[in-house]
Amino acid sequence: MLWIAIRMLTGDAQKFYGLVFGIAFSTLLITQQLTIFVNLIERGASGVYNVSSADIWVMDPVSRTTDIAYAMPATALDKVRSVEGVAWAVPHIRAQASVRTGDGDLEGVAVIGVDDATLIGLPKRMLEGSTEVLEQPDSVIIDDVGATRMFPDQSPIGERLELNDQRAVIRGIADAIPSFTSTVVLYTKYSQALNYVPGTRNRLSFVLVGAEEPAQAKALSERIEHETGLKAQTRDEFAKDGIDFIIENTGIPFNFGITVALGFIVGVAIVGLTFSLFIRDNIKQFGALKAIGVTNAKIRRMVAVQAGLVGLIGYGLGVLGTILFIWGFASNPTFKGFYIPWQIPLISLASVALILALTGWLALRNVLRTEPASVFR
Amino acid sequence: MALDWKNLSFPRQILPTIAVVGLLGAAAFILAGLPDRTLSDPAREPPHAPADLAAQPRVAGSGVVEPSSETVQIGSPLSGLVTRLLVEPGDRVGEGQLLFALDDRAVRAQLREAQAAILEARAAIAEAQSARATAGRQLALYRQVEDPAAVSRAEVIRAEGDANAASERLRLAQARLQAAEARAGSARTEIDRLSIRAPMAGEILAVNIRKGEFVSTMGGGGSQPFIEMGQTSPLHVRIDIDEEQAPRLRLGAPATVSPRGAADRQVEAVFVRAEPQVVPKRSLTNSAAERVDVRVLQVIYQLPETNGLFRVGQQVDAYIPAKGDEE
Amino acid sequence: MGTLLDTSAIGGCNPEAAICTRGVTRDFQAGQQTITVLHGIDLDIRAGEMTFLVGESGSGKTTLISIMCGILWPTLGEVKVFGTDIYDLGDSELVEFRLANIGFIFQQYNLIPSIDAASNAAVPLIAQGMERHEARTRAVAMLEKLNIGDQANKLPSQLSGGQQQRVAIARALVHEPRLVVCDEPTAALDASSGRRVMDLLREVAVAENRACIIVTHDNRIFDLADRILVLEDGRITHDGREMPEGH
């Protein structure tokens, strides 16, 4: 019986493609918008994720994100090192600075000073050059998105910048996820960063901590807070802080929420209407089948198979469209590092299932209400 | 239904196949594209607490290596031109060894002048002595004459005057000799002061003067010490402990010290003393603008012999056992 | 609801009757009013005959035929089809009973437009759970019996009206039902085609152990009936070999 259901569905090409389009469009809208949304707000955590080796970030109690940090006295580093369970701790400075480019423009940059000895705090991968270039005097490493922004169509290697009246030479390009504002990021040594950033009393923005037992990072962060009076966040907590900051301070969740809801509503509308029309067109056939002796359970299964096929094809095409979109824009700096969290296709799958269940149920109600006796009229 | 290419239906077979293949591809793409957020070990080993302190109360501090004598900044009592420079950084010197000498030509001229004056004074003494002898003999001759008419009274008085004058001249000449000798001694002392010698045995750490340079006792001009030296065997390390951590410190316990950049090479340092004064933290970044409101307790530790691993002025990370939490 | 009819008083069914109705009454609610469409129908339909059920629109013949083939519950009365009291069955048992025992030929054929003639004819077999190829093979055999075996792979829309009806007939007979119900088989056909269809029906549908009920008001074919039942205002007013005078 089920293949008959599928034949009935595909026999009406107009409605079949209408249904597939509705589901595909819905899936595309939900998946693609959610993907962009998630990636956009995760930009708030890029500063955390770019540092690949720190289990815990220690900061002043009033610091909120990687970009909003109140500096601590230099002895905070030793305080943190004194805590049991801390395998290592290194200083980390993050500050805003203005840089004068070759053609005289002023550009706001983020200067990130990493530990002089170990270079902990640099992104995991380099696009060009090696991290050793920081051993040379006045060296900075620029992030790749910043490089394309500051030096379009040319290699930034060897370019000289002026930072706080100091010379800085770009000697490497790091492969990093850009921040929410796509600020140009310059990585340099901690001691060098102190010179590049106009002086304030305290300079140490963060202490990056490696735990003896990374699995116990949460307990360690609580111990650090207890013993030093500073704020300690595990990597995931601090990443979430960055994301929450963007959620609280921008209209992004609301806007994307609207689009996703629209995707859902459009899906329900197109699919619901088309499915109802399809069922109405075939109501006589369903009636005949019921009279001949097809049980309601079988009818339900037939409609479910029809919904399933439409769902499979529409969902597949919608996800495929999203993939092609992300893939197609992968080289665009705006979309650098964009990925599709595996949860999102599942969310859109659930939405599609909900759309089909809802519309299928509405359509099926008509069929089940049809009296077999109506076929004699 | 057997696969029959002619009967292959686009919506029933090809589209679902595209959808399934697309979904599989999408799954692969999504799984491959998930960001790599795994934690990685740092490429270079950061300083960390020694194994036996890892699970115990401890205090961490950073410090600077210094000579056990602390750094001696050699000065000069006199200003002048450097004419001789006898040491280089890294030289080991004994106590009293000449380090550098200033231009002593003027003083040496004075010395020669004084020596000439000594000779002159000695000549004058000799001359005065012979004059006194002559006058004495003449006076004695007059005194032996019984006949008062033979020698006039005036003759005798003149002879007595000559003898007295000769004695006075001798004393004057002797005084001039003493004065000239004193001048010569003073010039020799000056010459000695122009040669700067090591106040103790140790290692030359820095030489900031060159031959031909003018050194001034007035300071000024960079005000660098002319020569820095210190006793570098053994080396000490001065560790800053945050004042909040200081009460936890177990004074007297050995510290584990590693130089910056070679965190894997940890050595055990022996406690020497804690400075009685808690001082404002001296910035290790050498930034002139740095002002810090925290104070630190400075603890001195003696480093073992490590064959060049530690050098004076080097920054180190240190871990010191702390008192247990029960206190 | 007025008085309950005591069906036992009317008497039991003849065990040889293919269909037996006793006191079948059907009410419809129309707003506040209750309209009684059938008034205690007692009928015996015999196997091996072609029984015509004739009546004007609104006479209740659609209701009666629906009740007789188990797709509409009577308000009162009982219906036995080959000895089974079909309204004693549960819902799904009744559906299974219809599937196994009754073949339908609808006035508008109600073929599924997106599957070919053979598949359409095979629908009851497939619904019974028969494997698709075997069902099609048997359906093609039935189509050949109806002389349209060469059209087996065509879609209904590619067939003429007569051919579609033959497909509908094939669908009604393919699973060898014991009761065939045929709703206005000739309504859309001209006189000669109508007669051909009726001849065909007589040839393939009428059998020793099979009852065949034809609902019609086409007076051109009354002469082909073995038995004619006339329904007027919910009551059987005539039961005989010929139509009564005046119709």
Mean pLDDT, chain C, integer: 85
| Closest chain A residue by Cα to residue C130 | A1
pTM score, whole prediction: 0.73
Q: How far apart are CA B189 and CA B302, in angstroms?
A: 39
- Residue B30: other Cβ atoms inside 10 A: 21
Give the burial class of B83: count Cβ atoms within 10 A of its Cβ; 0-12 exposed, 13-18 middle, 19 or more buried: middle
| Any A CB within 8 A of C115 CB | yes
Q: Which domains does chain C have, with CATH numbers?
A: 47-71+90-112+178-240 (3.40.50.300)
Segment 293-352 of chain A within 8 Å of chain C by CB? 293-295, 297-298
Predicted confidence at residue A321, as pLDDT, reads 92
Flag whether pLDDT at C4 surpasses 80.
no
List average pLDDT for each run of 10 residues in chain B, which is 327 residues long: 62 87 89 80 76 77 87 85 89 90 89 91 90 87 79 82 88 90 91 89 88 76 77 88 83 86 83 86 50 76 85 86 66
The closest of C105, C94, C99 to C65, measured between CA atoms, is C105
Instruction: Kindly indicate whether the domain formed by B51-68+233-321 is annotated with CATH number 1.10.10.10.
Output: no
| Closest chain A residue by Cα to residue B261 | A117
pLDDT tens-digit map of A208-265: 998 888 888 899 999 999 988 899 999 999 999 999 999 998 888 888 889 889 888 8
Average pLDDT rounded to a whole number, residues C217-244: 86
What distance in Å separates residue A68's CA from the closest CA in chain B? 21
Could you list the beta-strand ranges (E) of chain B: 58-67, 72-74, 80-85, 92-93, 98-102, 195-197, 202-207, 214-215, 227-230, 235-242, 255-259, 267-280, 295-302, 315-321
Predicted confidence at residue A366, as pLDDT, reads 82
CB C19 within 8 A of CB C68: yes
Query: The tokens of C126 are what?
Result: 């497939």
Give the burial class of A155: count Cβ atoms within 10 A of its Cβ; 0-12 exposed, 13-18 middle, 19 or more buried: exposed
Q: Which residues of B201-225 are buried (b: 16+ CB within 10 A; e: fewer)?
A: ebbbbbbebeeeeebeeeeeeeeeb
Query: The tokens of A76 are what?
Result: 């905070």
A292–C115 CB contact, under 8 Å: no
List the subunits that have 3+ CB pairs under 8 angstroms with A.
Answer: B, C
Q: Which string of DSSP letters, residue by residue, matches C54-79?
A: EE-TTSSHHHHHHHHTTSS--SEEEE
Per DSSP, what are the bridge partners of residue A92?
A206
Predicted confidence at residue B5, as pLDDT, reads 57
Please name the member of C92, C99, C183 whose beta carbon is closest to the beta carbon of A376.
C183
CB A155 within 8 A of CB A102: no
Whether omega before B247 lies within 30 degrees of 0, making that bond cis, reads no
**Tokens 């056990």 belong to which residue?**
B68
Domain ranges of chain A: 2-43+251-376, 73-229
Predicted confidence at residue C9, as pLDDT, reads 40
β-pairing verdict for B58-67 and B98-102:
unpaired
Share of chain C above pLDDT 70, in %: 94
Q: What is the ipTM of this complex?
A: 0.86
pLDDT tens-digit map of C160-196: 888 898 899 899 989 888 889 988 888 877 888 888 8
Segment 171-200 of chain C within 8 Å of chain A by CB? 171, 183
Which CATH code for domain B72-103+196-228? 2.40.50.100
Mean pLDDT, chain B, integer: 83
pLDDT tens-digit map of B92-151: 999 989 999 988 888 899 999 999 999 998 998 998 889 888 888 888 888 887 777 777
Q: How far apart are CA A47 and CA A205, in angstroms?
A: 13
B48–A78 CB contact, under 8 Å: no
Predicted confidence at residue C184, as pLDDT, reads 85
Phi-psi region of C184 (alpha: psi -120 to 50; beta: other; left: phi over 0): left
Q: Hey, what amino acid is at C53?
A: L
CB A288 within 8 A of CB A376: no
C110–A284 CB contact, under 8 Å: yes
pLDDT tens-digit map of A281-296: 888 888 888 888 888 8
Q: What residues of chain A score a pLDDT lower than 70?
A: 102, 199-201, 377
B60–A118 CB contact, under 8 Å: no
- Residue A131: other Cβ atoms inside 10 A: 18
Segment 4-23 of chain B within 8 Å of chain A by CB? 9, 11-12, 15-16, 18-20, 22-23
Flag whether pLDDT at C18 surpasses 50.
yes
pLDDT bucket at C63, cuts 50 / 70 / 90: confident
B46–A210 CB contact, under 8 Å: yes
Predicted confidence at residue A112, as pLDDT, reads 92
Domain ranges of chain B: 51-68+233-321, 72-103+196-228, 106-193
pLDDT tens-digit map of C187-222: 877 888 888 888 888 888 888 888 899 998 888 888
Predicted confidence at residue A311, as pLDDT, reads 92
User: Which residues of chain B neighbour A342 with C-beta distances below 8 Å?
Assistant: 30-31, 34
Predicted confidence at residue A317, as pLDDT, reads 93
